[in-house]
Amino acid sequence: ALTAGIVGLPNVGKSTLFNAITKAGAEMANYPFATIEPNVGMVEVPDARLMRIAEIVGTNKIIPTTFEFTDIAGIVKGASQGEGLGNKFLENIRQVNAIVHVVRAFDDDNIVHVNGTVDPIDDIETINTELVLADLEAVDKRYAKVSRAAKGGDKESKAEFDVLEKIKPLLDAGKPARLAEFTAEQEKIVHGLFLLTTKPILYVANVAEDDMANPQGSKYFAQIEAYAAAEGADVIGLSARAEEEIAEMDADDQAEFLEMAGVSEPGLNLLIRAAYHLLNLRTFFTAGVKETRAWTFKAGAKAPETAGVIHSDFERGFIRAETMSFEDLDQYGSEKAVKEAGRLRSEGKEYVVQDGDIMEFLFNV
Ligand code: GDP
């Protein structure tokens, strides 16, 4: 399964955020077959469409889809030199599919800052520098080898060389490799390099509890946002401490607390949705009287592959998928009305499934 790794300097609020994730997390009773490591937090993806579908088809059993956050342990500074647990830190990042970088954006004299003062950009660069240096070492090694073979006329080496030529100047300048643009062919080569700075990233500005209703208003938020924008990355503002408290409340208290704070939903929900998208994940639904359920697929997947998310038999014996969009069901108000409007589609093997599709698979057993 794809997972988003949570990284950050010590004392920025990572554990607090991870606690919030675990507490808000999926009730493991609902997922008896899931095996979960202690550093993994499984969350349900909040999706208002599920409620609406359930209301229309008349079921009260709703099953959201889930995905995982991984808490990345290890020492950051000097990691690329392999100091202390540094290598472990980089190895742990190598295992995840996207990076959620937590940055301290709150003042609190009681909480020691590892670099002495709260400076989000300095913090971000401390970590990103280690990632860049680790990648640079890997790229330099390949570069020496591949350039010789490329000059010798080897086609594959030439293709890799062209990729390295795009990446190396960025890393030399202290920038992440994800800023380079690659063709689809080159993407495959890039994938094989197992770099750290090509992984998609999003920043979390951990603001003071007083700023939870308007994280964008915190003085540090704009700094982080400007830095992220230059990388084409997003920033989610939240207060990890507030999120941890919210996650511990029952539904009624939670609603009351959020209303008093003047926010419509926990900041954690925004983070979950942003990380889900960062991983390039999308949702389709199955809808019935027995249950209404959300399922996760990779953006761009075709119908048989998404059928396989439910059961491998569905993929193997795939015939077609009766499909309607959530928007149509929402608008027409019933499955029957969608059908009568000619909006129910019969999709085949080549259909590229869209986020929000409601599907019924027909298959041979
Ligand atoms: P980690 O080392 O990055 O995992 O950081 P922790 O989650 O352990 O947090 C370090 C300290 O900062 C703890 O004492 C937290 O309670 C505190 N902290 C985390 N988030 C906030 C916040 O939003 N506001 C304030 N004032 N303190 C926070």
What pLDDT is stored for residue 341 in this prediction? Answer: 97
Does any domain span residue 179?
A: yes
- Residues 136, 172, single domain; the answer is yes
Query: Ligand 1 centroid to 222 CA: how many Å?
Result: 21
| CA distance to 6, 49, 180, 284, 288, per residue, from 297 (Å) | 22, 17, 26, 7, 20
Domain end among 164, 192, 220: 192
Ligand 1: residues with CB < 6 A are 8, 10-16, 106, 108, 111, 206, 208-209, 239-241
The CA distance from 246 to 282, in Å, is: 26
Instruction: Find the helix or strand (DSSP H, E) in which 261 lies.
Output: helix 251-261
Q: What is the CATH number of the domain that holds 92?
A: 3.40.50.300
What pLDDT is stored for residue 59 in this prediction? Answer: 94
Residue nearest to atom 18 of ligand 1 (CA): 13
CA dihedral 185, 186, 189, 193 (to 10 degrees): -160
Q: What is the CATH number of the domain that holds 305?
A: 3.10.20.30
| CA distance to 66, 271, 292, 305, 322, per residue, from 311 (Å) | 16, 29, 16, 10, 17
- Is 141 assigned to a binding site? no
- Is 65 assigned to a binding site? no
Domain end among 161, 192, 223: 192
Reduced to 3 states (helix: H, G, I; strand: E, B; else coil), residue 146 is helix
Query: Ligand 1 centroid to 117 CA: how many Å?
Result: 15
CB 246 within 8 A of CB 268: yes
Q: What is the CATH number of the domain that holds 176?
A: 1.10.150.300
- Residues 164, 264, single domain; the answer is no
Close Cβ partners of 339 (under 8 Å, ≥ 6 residues apart) = none
Residue nearest to atom 25 of ligand 1 (CA): 208
- Residues 175, 315, single domain; the answer is no
What pLDDT is stored for residue 83 in this prediction? Answer: 58
Does any domain span residue 284?
A: no
- Residues 81, 222, single domain; the answer is yes
- Residues 209, 244, single domain; the answer is yes
- Is 11 assigned to a binding site? yes
pTM metric for this prediction: 0.91
What pLDDT is stored for residue 243 in this prediction? Answer: 96
Count of domains for the chain: 3
What pLDDT is stored for residue 213 in this prediction? Answer: 93
State the complex-level ipTM.
Answer: 0.92
Q: Mean pLDDT across the chain, nearest whole number?
A: 92
- Residues 111, 187, single domain; the answer is no
Ligand 1 atom nearest 206 alpha carbon: 23
Does any domain span residue 259?
A: yes
Query: Ligand 1 centroid to 72 CA: how many Å?
Result: 16
Token pair of 357, please? Answer: 């599709």
Ligand 1 atom nearest 239 alpha carbon: 23
What pLDDT is stored for residue 115 in this prediction? Answer: 73
Query: Ligand 1 centroid to 57 CA: how many Å?
Result: 44
- Residues 185, 207, single domain; the answer is no
- Residues 272, 356, single domain; the answer is no
User: In which residue ranges of the chain is pLDDT below 50?
Assistant: none
Structural domain of residue 147, as residue ranges? 130-192
Does any domain span residue 258?
A: yes
- Residues 305, 177, single domain; the answer is no
- Residues 154, 173, single domain; the answer is yes
Residue nearest to atom 21 of ligand 1 (CA): 241
Query: Ligand 1 centroid to 282 CA: how many Å?
Result: 32
Does any domain span residue 340?
A: yes
Does any domain span residue 288?
A: no
Does any domain span residue 55?
A: no
Residue nearest to atom 1 of ligand 1 (CA): 11
What are 52-87's pLDDT values in tens digits?
999 999 999 999 999 999 999 777 677 777 655 557
- Residues 18, 77, single domain; the answer is yes
- Is 16 assigned to a binding site? yes
Give 284's strand partners: 295
Does any domain span residue 266?
A: yes
- Residues 39, 112, single domain; the answer is yes
Where b means 16+ CB within 10 Å and e means fewer, 250-283 reads eeeebeeebeeeebeebbbbbbbebbbbbbebbb
Domain end among 192, 220, 237: 192
